[in-house]
Amino acid sequence: MSMSESEAYEAGMSLPSDARRRLAIRLLESVDRDEAFDAAAESWLRNEAAAAYDALKADPSRAIPAEDVRARFEAKWAARS
């Protein structure tokens, strides 16, 4: 018997956080990348990521500690519920 997408989602959400993380990675790795994804990733790397890197190299005082970035993401994630 197969599950619907929403049933699979609900089952996945009932897993502990670490298990969900591992499952998400496995699911992402199972999906074939396509040309549109590759083009978007390449564009992001060449434009946004490269520009951000250059700006940070030019003014290192703009750096944000990784712990602060993680805390911001966790706060945004928690606010979703």
Among 80, 78, 73, 26, residue whose Cα is nearest residue 8: 26
Task: Give the per-residue SS3 of the chain.
Answer: CCCCHHHHHHHHHCCCHHHHHHHHHHHHHHCCCCHHHHHHHHHHHHHHHHHHHHHHHHCHHHCCCHHHHHHHHHHHHHHCC
In tens, the pLDDT along 5-60 reads: 999 999 999 999 999 999 999 998 898 888 898 899 999 999 999 999 999 999 99
Structural domain spans, the chain: 5-79
First to last CA, the chain: 31
